[in-house]
Homo-oligomer: A and B are copies of this chain.
């Protein structure tokens, strides 16, 4: 089983990286770029044998404890290939 976790900065939290990337894209000629936010994309490979529900529960715990910094970040979990 495979899980995908998307970790993004909370709304309102400064994203220095995104800002720098947006600026650089528009100075490279991509004027249509209005905003860029940088987050993490985490692929987790899990041992088979558990249900998608159970897996999601465990992933939530992993996010809370390690994968995301919940003071400034939100996360979203997707279970694939169950």
Residues on A close to B: CB < 8 A?
Answer: 6-8, 18, 21, 24-25, 28, 30-47, 49-50, 55, 58, 61-62, 65-67
> Which residues does chain B contribute within 8 Å of A39, judged by CB atoms?
40-43
The answer for the CA separation of A8 and B57 in the assembled complex, in Å, is 25
> Which residues does chain B contribute within 8 Å of A46, judged by CB atoms?
32-34
* A66 contacts B35, C-beta separation under 8 Å: no
> Which residues does chain B contribute within 8 Å of A37, judged by CB atoms?
42-43
Cβ-defined partner of A32 (8 Å) among B34, B35, B50: B50
* B40 contacts A40, C-beta separation under 8 Å: yes
23 contacts between A and B (CB under 8 A): A6-B41, A7-B41, A21-B42, A21-B67, A25-B62, A28-B66, A30-B62, A31-B47, A32-B46, A32-B49, A32-B55, A33-B44, A33-B45, A33-B62, A36-B42, A36-B43, A36-B44, A36-B45, A37-B42, A38-B41, A38-B42, A39-B42, A40-B41
